[in-house]
Amino acid sequence: MAIFTGAAVALITPFKEDLSVDYEQLKKLIDFQIENKTDCIVICGTTGEASTLTHEEHLECIRVCCEHVAGRIPVVAGTGSNCTETAIYLSKEAEKYGADGLLLVTPYYNKATQKGLIKHFTDIANSVSLPIILYNVPSRTGTNILPETAVYLAKNVPNIVGIKEASGNISQVAKLMSLADGCIDLYSGNDDQIIPLLSLGGKGVISVTSNIIPEDTHNVVKKYFDGDIEGARDLQLKAIDLCGALFCEVNPIPVKKATELMGLSNGVMRMPLTEMEPQNAERLEKAMREYGIEF
């Protein structure tokens, strides 16, 4: 059974002006998501600026999230690292806190061969009993999980059950699903490719856009599975310009600006992320207004 079906939000991590984590605001963001039909919370992923969190902050975000969600929807904790031992530590702790699943990004900077990826993910998976979603985002990590590697892991490691595909390579995803023959749950990692990946057998999306339009993102997937393909497609296409604006600078700079405009957060980021360029902020505001977002 899939960890979730539908739209999961890749949740931002709110910071105070002094750059400490704002846990009270985090709870408010979680409630906003649940009230607006998000199907799953993904905490401490790329959009959550996990790479700038200390281990203590990282785990506290997961603990607070699991405690505050309190079983209302699934919580998937990002516990990946380029250090296998660190990923094992974070994963074990997330399991203790009550996470429903884990999201494991491919090792970055030091990277790995496909053999190394198999060993890395297998060792982490063997350290916990939680179901695991692999996270393939080669534009950030410099490492691509080949279809054969993902399928090998899904078939040989019982709790590796899914993959978030953010390669943007539809042909690669098609090959993956052909080889998998149903052994792996597929989630889109790109908000502008939800429908294409659903058509290849996907279960949903792990979405940045859900931070600001959670109900519509949820409805793209729901309408598709309800058989309203035209309605799902229309919602997907309606959001294309908004998606473009949300990725006109590196994520999560634009989405944090968007949540600031909506009054959901103060938009504060940790270095090396910096304030959005004025012309890009103007583009984002325009796209949000044209979409119909009020702020």
Domain residue extents for the chain? 6-226
pLDDT in tens, 248-258: 999 999 999 99
Whether 164 sits among the annotated catalytic residues: the reply is yes
1: pLDDT confidence band, cut at 50, 70 and 90?
confident
Whether 286 sits among the annotated catalytic residues: the reply is no
Exactly one of 28, 109, 135, 291 is catalytic; name it.
135
- The CATH topology of domain 6-226 is TIM Barrel (3.20.20)
> Which residues are CB-contacts of 290 (< 8 A; sequence separation ≥ 6)?
241, 242
Q: Is the pLDDT of residue 272 over 90?
A: yes
User: So what's the pLDDT on residue 100?
Assistant: 98
- Mean pLDDT over all residues of the chain? 97
140: pLDDT confidence band, cut at 50, 70 and 90?
very high
Q: What percent of the chain stands above pLDDT 70?
A: 100
pLDDT in tens, 66-117: 999 999 999 999 999 999 999 999 999 999 999 999 999 999 999 999 999 9
Exactly one of 16, 108, 164, 222 is catalytic; name it.
164
156: pLDDT confidence band, cut at 50, 70 and 90?
very high
User: So what's the pLDDT on residue 277?
Assistant: 97
Instruction: Please tell me the pTM assigned to this model.
Output: 0.97
Q: Which of 11, 46, 40 is nearest to 26 (CA)?
A: 11
pLDDT in tens, 17-45: 999 999 999 999 999 999 999 999 999 99
In whole angstroms, what is the distance from residue 199 CA to residue 127 CA? 34
In whole angstroms, what is the distance from residue 48 CA to residue 10 CA? 7
Region 114-122 average pLDDT: 98
CA distances to 18, 39, 67, 203 from 74, rounded to whole Å, are 31, 7, 12, 14
